[in-house]
Structure 1
C-alpha cells in the first residue's frame, strides 16, 4: 500500500464498495473463479447465521490493538483478548486464515492516516479467510464456508467483521490473492496510467523484489520493456531474474549510481519508485529525456518522526526542465475507475500461470515462520529490515476442520 496519508474514508470509498458491487454476480471475474454454493439452512435473523449449531466459533479471540501513536510498531500496539464480534445485518464474520503485512502499517500506528482517530484502534489492513457468520442481507450474496479476501482496518485479528459489500470472493484461502488487492493493483494501474510504457523502453523498479515491486517488474516486461530492478541480496537478484528482470542490481554488492551511469548512459525512461530519500534523488538524476518517475511510496522515511525521508530537491525544477521529464505521484484511491479491469486482468493472469505472486511466510526468519497473531510484530520488523522476498504474510490459523453441514 503506497502513500503516507491513506485516509480512513478513502479506504472505505476505495476498494470494497467498488469490488463487491462490480465484481460479484454475473461479472467476468466471478465466472473465471466460480465458488461452490451451499444453501443456508438456519434462517434465524437474530442469530445472524453465526456458525450453525455452534460447532466451531470460540467465544473469545485475539487481535492487535494500537494503544499509543508511534511509528515504532512494537511500542504502539499489543495483542489483546476480546469477545468474538457479532456481524450485523449486512456483515460477514470472517475467520482469518492469513493477514498481509504492509509498509503503511507503521503509518497507521503512527496516526498519519486520519488524525481524528485516537487510540485504542484495531491494526491491520488485509485478510483472507472463511465466512463463519453473516447477517440476513449479507446472505443474499454469501453463505457459510465461502472464502473471501478483504482490505479493511482491523485485519490483525483471529476473526474480523467485514461488510459484505467490501469483500472479494476467491476460490481458496491462498495468500497470493492478498498480493493482488493492493500491491498488484498499484503496479498495474500506475504503470498503465502514468508510465505510458512503450516497447523497447528502459524501466527501473526500486525495491523490485518486494510486495509491489515484483508486479512492476512483470508488467513492465510484459509491455516489452528492458527492466532493471534494485534489491539487497543475491537471492533476491536470482528471484528477479526468474520473473523476467533483465538487470537485477544488488546495491549492497554494486554501486547503484555508477552501474546505472555506466550501463545506461542514455538514462531511464520510466522509474517505479517506492523507497524515497537518496534513492529518489538518484532516480531523478538518471531520468532520460522525456522520462517519467512514478512515486508510489517512500518507505525509507516511514519509521521516522515525520514519516517523510529527506530529499534534496532544490535543483529539481532545472533537472526536469532540462530533460522534459516528469515526476508523477500515484495514490490508488484516485484511480478506482481502473480497479475492476486491473483486478480482473490480474486474476486471469494468475489463474493461467502468466503472473507470479511471491509470498514470504517468514520461513527464513530467525524465529521461523510467521504463525499466530503474535508473529505480526516479527513480520513488521522483518519487512523493515529488508529481508522479505515478495509479500509478507502471517498465518493466523490453520485450515478450518469444522464439521458444520452448511
Structure 2
C-alpha cells in the first residue's frame, strides 16, 4: 500500500463530493486488501468503506449545502482526502459527535442496530452475550444493547482488554478461557442468554450455542478468528434456538430504504446519550500500519484515519 497523489474526483450527476475528515478502518477493508472479501478488486484501488467530513459540492435538490457535516458508507475509496458518493448514501453527522466519532457509527453501530432491531427483535430486559467484545463490532454490540435496555455479558479473549471492555458498561466480563460457557450460565443463574453476538466464529461458536436460553437467537456477524463454524441443526431443534445471519451491507443493497431507518434509530440513541469510546487515530499516510494493527488484534474499539 502506498500514499500517493491521484487525480481529483469527478462526481456523477447524483453524487456529493465530501472533504474527508475521518475515514473508518473496518474488518471488511482488511479482507478487501487481502483479496479475501466477497468483493474482489484488481489493484490498484483505494480502500475505505466509511467516511465523515464536510460537503465540498452537492447537486441541486439534494438538500445538502457546502460545509454541511455528513457521514457516508461509500463502499470504496474512503482512504483519501476527498471522495464522491451517491446522495442516497449520505446522512447528516450527529451534532453530538466529532467526525472521528461519527465515522465510528457507520459500519459497526449501524450493523448492530440493524442486527438487534431487524434480525433478533431484542427486547428490553433480555440478556445479550457478546463475543469478541473488545473489537469494533463488540464495542458497538455492548453499547447498543445497553442503550436498548438489555443486560450484557461480554466475553474477552485478550487479557489486556478487560479494563477497556469494563469501561463500556457491560453487566459482567468473562475471560475466554476453559469453562467460560459455564461462567456465562452461572452469571444467568442457569437460564442462559437470549441473544448471542458472534463476530468471531471458530471454536467459541459451539460453546456459545450451549449458553442460549429457550427462544435464544445467535447472530452471525463475521469470522474474525478465521474459521467458519458449522452446526448440527438437531441441536437447534432440541433447544428451540435459532442462528441468524447478519449481512447489513447486502440487506441495504436489496432494501435501500432500510439504511435511513437504521440511521434514524441510531441517531435517536446518540441523542439520548450513546457515544462511541474514543477512537484510535492514525494519520491517513499510515493506513498500512493501521490495517496491520487491526490484523494483529492490537486495537480496542474503532480505528480511524485522519488526513
**TM-score, normalisation: structure 2:** 0.85
Note closer, same or farther for the CA distance 1:90–1:197 as it changes in structure 2 (3 Å cut).
Answer: closer
Is the aligned partner of 1:311 residue 2:229?
A: yes
Residues 47, 77 of structure 2: 8 Å contact kept: yes
Task: Pick one of 139, 150, 161 that aligns with 1:214.
Answer: 139
Q: What's the counterpart of residue 259 of structure 1? A: 183
Q: What's the counterpart of residue 346 of structure 1? A: 266
Measure how far apart 1:282 and its partner are. Answer: 1.8
Tell me how far apart the structure 2 counterparts of residues 224 and 148 of structure 1 sit (CA, whole Å).
29
Segments of structure 1 that go 5 or more residues without pairing to the other structure are 1-76, 302-308, 363-369, 397-406
Is the aligned partner of 1:334 residue 2:254?
A: no
Aligned length: 298
Q: What's the counterpart of residue 87 of structure 2? A: 164
Tell me how far apart the structure 2 counterparts of residues 91 and 198 of structure 1 sit (CA, whole Å).
38
Task: Pick one of 153, 156, 159 that aligns with 1:228.
Answer: 153
Tell me how far apart the structure 1 counterparts of residues 261 and 62 of structure 2 sit (CA, whole Å).
25
Residues 229, 247 of structure 1: 8 Å contact kept: yes
Is the aligned partner of 1:78 residue 2:2?
A: yes
Q: How does 1:101-140 map to 2 (within 5 A)?
A: 101-109=25-33, 110=35, 112-115=37-40, 117-132=41-56, 134=57, 137-138=59-60
Tell me how far apart the structure 2 counterparts of residues 154 and 104 of structure 1 sit (CA, whole Å).
13
Is the aligned partner of 1:322 residue 2:241?
A: no
Is the aligned partner of 1:290 residue 2:215?
A: yes
Q: What's the counterpart of residue 276 of structure 2? A: 357
Tell me how far apart the structure 2 counterparts of residues 165 and 260 of structure 1 sit (CA, whole Å).
42
Note closer, same or farther for the CA distance 1:157–1:198 as it changes in structure 2 (3 Å cut).
Answer: closer
Tell me how far apart the structure 2 counterparts of residues 118 and 160 of structure 1 sit (CA, whole Å).
19
Render the CA deviation track for 1:43-102: whole Å, top value 9, x for unaligned. Answer: xxxxxxxxxxxxxxxxxxxxxxxxxxxxxxxxxx33332222333443333221110001
Segments of structure 2 that go 5 or more residues without pairing to the other structure are none
Residues 200, 224 of structure 2: 8 Å contact kept: yes
Measure how far apart 1:111 and its partner are. Answer: 5.7
Tell me how far apart the structure 1 counterparts of residues 87 and 125 of structure 2 sit (CA, whole Å).
44
Residues 267, 286 of structure 1: 8 Å contact kept: yes
Residues 30, 295 of structure 2: 8 Å contact kept: no
Question: Which has the higher Rg, Structure 1 or Structure 2?
Answer: 1
Residues 189, 342 of structure 1: 8 Å contact kept: yes
Note closer, same or farther for the CA distance 1:351–1:291 as it changes in structure 2 (3 Å cut).
Answer: closer
Note closer, same or farther for the CA distance 1:90–1:317 as it changes in structure 2 (3 Å cut).
Answer: closer
Note closer, same or farther for the CA distance 1:82–1:341 as it changes in structure 2 (3 Å cut).
Answer: closer
Task: Pick one of 270, 273, 279 that aligns with 2:198.
Answer: 273
Measure how far apart 1:324 and its partner are. Answer: 1.1
Note closer, same or farther for the CA distance 1:195–1:92 as it changes in structure 2 (3 Å cut).
Answer: closer
Residues 181, 210 of structure 2: 8 Å contact kept: no
Task: Pick one of 394, 397, 401 that aligns with 2:305.
Answer: 394
Measure how far apart 1:173 and its partner are. Answer: 5.0
